Amino acid sequence: MNESCSGNRSLPKKESYTKTVAACYTGYVVQAIVNNFVPLLFLTFQSTYGISMGRITLLITVNFMIQLAIDFLSAGFIDRIGYRASVIIAHALAAAGLASLTVLPDLMPDPYFGLLLAVTLYAVGGGLLEVLLSPIVEALPTKNKEKTMSLLHSFYCWGHVAVVLISTIFFAIFGIENWKVMALLWALVPAFNLVAFIRVPLCSLVEAEEEGISLTGLVKIPAFWILMVIMMCAGASEQAVSQWASTFAEQGLGVTKSIGDLAGPMFFAICMGTSRLLYGLYGEMLDLRRAMIGSGLLCIISYCLISLSPLPALSLLGCGICGFSVGIMWPGAFSIAAALLKGGGTALFAFLALAGDLGCSGGPTFVGLIADSVSGGLKTGILCALVFPLLLMAGVVLIRKMKNS
C-alpha cells in the first residue's frame, strides 16, 4: 500500500510538497530524455555499428510498445508495491538504460541486441513514469490541481527542447563521436532524481479509510469510457501533426532534412509547452472544460491552416498553432477524470495513459494511411484528422452534461 502522506513530517506542508512537485517535474524531463535522445543518434548507430536503418528505427516501435504494455500492466502492481518503490524503480531503469547504451552494444556479439536491451530498460522506466507522475501530483493535499497538472506536463515539452538543444550543442562542440559521454550525462538526471524520490513525501490517491473504485467498477461507469475516448483523441490530435512537423519545416523553411528534424518538432514542442505553462500560471481564471472545447476549436483551425494554405510557411505556422492548441488536452483530461471519478486510483491513471498512447500511435497512422490512399497527400490526411478534436469536444460536452445532471 502507498503511504497515506509520509516522509519529512516535520517540514511545513508547502515546503515539503513543493519538493515532491519539483521531483515530479524532473520526472517528466526524464521521460523526455528517454523518448527523444536516442533518435538523435540513429545515423551514428548506422555508421558505427553497421546496422540497417530499418532495424534502428524499430527501436522506436519497441520503446513505444513496451510503454504501452507498462500502461496496461501497471494497474495490477503499482498499488501493491507503492508509489515510492515504483517511482524509484522507474528512475533506476531509466538511468540504467541510458548508461547501458554506452557499453552493451560493444559487449554483445550483435551490437543491435545491446541497443535493444538498453532501450528495453529505459522504456520500462519511461512507461512507469508516465503512469506514476500524474497520480503522485494529484494525490498531494495541495490547491489548484488543474494548474499543477498542466505545469507538470509542460516539463515534458521543455525536456524535449532541452534534449535536442543541449545534445546538438554538445555534438557541435565535442563531435558526434563523443555521444557516449552525452548519454552518461543524461543518465545522471534520473539518477539524481531517484535520490530525491527517496526523501520527498508522497500520498495515496485513495486513503486507507476510503473505498476506491475497482477496475471492474470503473469499466461499468459510462463516464470512464467517454474519458478514455477524450484521452485517446488528445493523444491523436497532438501526434497527428507533431510526427509530421519536420516535413512542414523542410517545406516551409526550405531547409535540409536534418535541420527540419530539429526545427519542426522543437517549434511544436515550444508552442505546446507554452500553452501548458500559461494554463499552469493563469488557469484559475478559466473553466477547464470550456478551455478544452476552445482548444479543440483552435486545433481544428490549425488543421485547416496546415491543410488548406497554399503557402508552406503558413502550414508551418499551423503546426505551431496546433502545438499550442493541444497543450492542455492531455493534462486537462487527467484533471477532469480525477475530479469526476474520485477513488479511481492508479488504475484510472494507468488506463488513461494507455488510451493516450493508443491515440499517439493511431493519430499519425491514420494521417499516413489517408495520405497514401487519396489525392492531396499529407495535407489531406491531416484535414481528415479533424475527427479527433471533434470527438474530443463532443466527449467534453457529454462529460459536462453528466456532471450537471
Per-residue model confidence (pLDDT) at position 209: 40
- How do residues 146-196 score in pLDDT, each as one tens digit? 888 889 999 999 999 999 899 989 998 999 999 999 999 999 999 999 999
Burial of 91 (0-12, 13-18, 19+ CB in 10 A): buried
Per-residue model confidence (pLDDT) at position 10: 45
pLDDT surpassing 60 at residue 312: yes
Domain residue limits, the chain: 1-208, 211-405
What Cα–Cα distance (Å) separates residue 399 from each residue in 141, 292, 348, 357, 390? 25, 12, 16, 21, 14
* Residue 385, phi then psi, degrees to nearest 5: -70, 0
**pTM score, two decimals?**
0.85
CA-CA distance, 47 to 195, in Å (whole number)? 37
Grid coordinates in use for 102? 554506452
Same topology for domains 1-208 and 211-405, yes or no?
yes
| pLDDT band, very low/low/confident/very high, at 90 (cuts 50, 70, 90) | very high
- How do residues 52-64 score in pLDDT, each as one tens digit? 877 887 887 888 8
- How do residues 267-276 score in pLDDT, each as one tens digit? 889 999 999 9
Average pLDDT over residues 31-51: 89
Query: In the predicted model, what is the mean pLDDT of the chain?
Result: 86
Q: What is the CA radius of gyration of the chain?
A: 21
For the segment(s) 211-405, the CATH number from 1.20.1250.20, 3.30.2310.20, 3.40.50.300, 1.10.600.10 is 1.20.1250.20
Cβ count within 10 A of residue 64: 17
pLDDT surpassing 80 at residue 11: no
- How do residues 238-294 score in pLDDT, each as one tens digit? 888 887 777 777 776 677 766 776 778 888 899 999 999 998 888 778 888 999 999
- Evaluate whether the domain defined by 1-208 bears CATH number 1.20.1250.20: yes
